Structures are given as structure tokens and as C-alpha cells.
Amino acid sequence: MTNERRSPWAAGLLSLVIPGLGHVYNGEPGLGLLAYLSQPVLFAFGNILFFATFPGTVAVLTLLLALYLGIAVHAALRARRLGEVSLRWYNHVAVYLLVGVGVSILGGLTFKHVVLPALRYRTFQTAAASMEPTLQIGDHFIVDTWAYRKQPPQRGDLIVFRFPNDPARDFVKRCVAVSGDVVAIHDKQLSIDGQPVAEPYVTHVDPEVLHDTGLSPVAVRDQYGPEKIPPGSCFSLGDNRDNSYDSRFYGSVRPDLLEAKALYVYWSKNGSRMGRRLR
């Protein structure tokens, strides 16, 4: 069996490509597997317990980065300390390439089809202006997919749901009325059960008030209802009230379409918005 010294640089670089691969290069596959699994375990633990807040998310991501670099440094130090090692069948460049490609493909598929659907906290990106100024185009935000497992949405929640007319698309709107509420809009003013609702988060960009002339259905933008919300459903509106395609046009959101509650912006072109709670 051939003995050969291990290069600390090679061990470190291999672990930067795939955490743990540097330890395999050092002849320590068990340690390599432990190093590889440590990151997804930390991510899963953090996702369940800490991603509910922006500081918690930053802390977990910082730990993940530190762990990633630490694994590479540890592999390099181990290579230096081990000196010469007995080469195994897997100590070949071709095997490293195959492992790298295989782990990348398998890991990607596993994350997409197994891990991602099971995550409590997930990420979404705003693609339209219907929720401005609360959410701006390009904002990335965190949602809680477990929020409505045991309780329905509350008035004021920012909800993510599958578009009723095309469930393959995701919408984010504000829940303004819930099961049993009688919702109405008169001259842009929202009312619930006959009482006007104060909405400090709403903006109106069009000063014109539309009225139903019998010729144009778009008047529902400013004149709607009254309508009672069905059991388990909620009535969703955009904060950019004059520029939003929402429940005024496609009806209440059924409970089977609900996906998550939006929590906070974690990335934005406007740095001052990062970490902003969504209320």
C-alpha cells in the first residue's frame, strides 16, 4: 500500500469545494461525512428555532459561514499533522471529481424536493408593486409556513397564497377581513361589518374615484360589496390599493390556498429596509 504526504493546501481547497472532501483526501472518510452533515443539521436547527427574527437569521448564517471555513481549516491542519498516510482506493482525482458532481446533483435534488418543502421558514421575492410601500419590487422576505397550521389568518396579516386562478403562482397580499366578516368598499374606504377601517399602511396613487356605470367592471376597485366572507377564507387586498389585483377581482382566498405568513425583509436594494418587520 502506497504512503504519501497530504498537502494542507489541497485538503483545505477540497473542503471549500465540498465540506468534508478534504478529510476524505486525508484518509478520514468518517470525519469527512461528519463535516459534510454538520452544515445541513445546523441549518435545519436554525430554521426551526431562530429564523423567526432577522437577528436570529443573521446569527445562524454567520455560524454556517464560520463552520464552512472552520471545516476547511481543520482539514488543512489535519493534513499537516498526519504527515504520510496510506492511500486508499478513493484517494484519486477522478474519485474526487465524481464525488463532487454526485454530491452536488444529489444534494440539489434532495434540497429542492425534500428539504425545501419541509422548511418552516422560507424565502420569497416581491415581483410586483401591489404591496408598496410595505413591500417594494425586489424585496426578499422571510415567511413562516407553519403560521396557519393551527389558526387562521388574522386581520392585518401579510399572507402568501397560491393565486386562485393559477395555483402555480404565488401572491402576497394583506388579509383585511376573515371568516364571517362583512366587507365593503365605498369610495376607496374599506369597512368591516359597517365600520370604517383605519389603514395607515395603504397608499392611493390615483385620485380618481371609480363608479359603476354598468359599462366597466373595474369600478370594484373603489366600490365593492357588501359581501360576507365564507368560512375559513380571508379577503386579501394590496397596500398599493389603486394598483393591485386582489380579492376585489378574484374573490376571497380559500384556506387550502394559504401557504405562509410574511415576517420580515431580509434583503433589499434599499439597505435601510433590511430586517424590517412586515406589519
For residues 74, 80, 81 and 86, what is the CA-based torsion angle, rounded to 10 degrees?
A: 110
Say which of 7, 86, 130, 179 is annotated catalytic.
130
Alpha-helical regions (H) of 83-193: 93-110, 116-118
Say which of 173, 188, 236, 261 is annotated catalytic.
173
DSSP H or E stretch at residue 177: strand 166-178
CA quadruple 11, 97, 31, 83: dihedral sign: negative
Quote the radius of gyration of the chain (alpha carbons, Å).
Answer: 26
- Grid coordinates in use for 153? 389568518
DSSP H or E stretch at residue 63: helix 54-82
For residues 178, 180, 181 and 182, what is the CA-based torsion angle, rounded to 10 degrees?
A: 140
Can 188 be counted among the known catalytic residues?
no
Measured CA to CA, the distance from residue 213 to residue 220 in angstroms comes to 11
Can 130 be counted among the known catalytic residues?
yes
Residues catalogued as catalytic: 130, 173
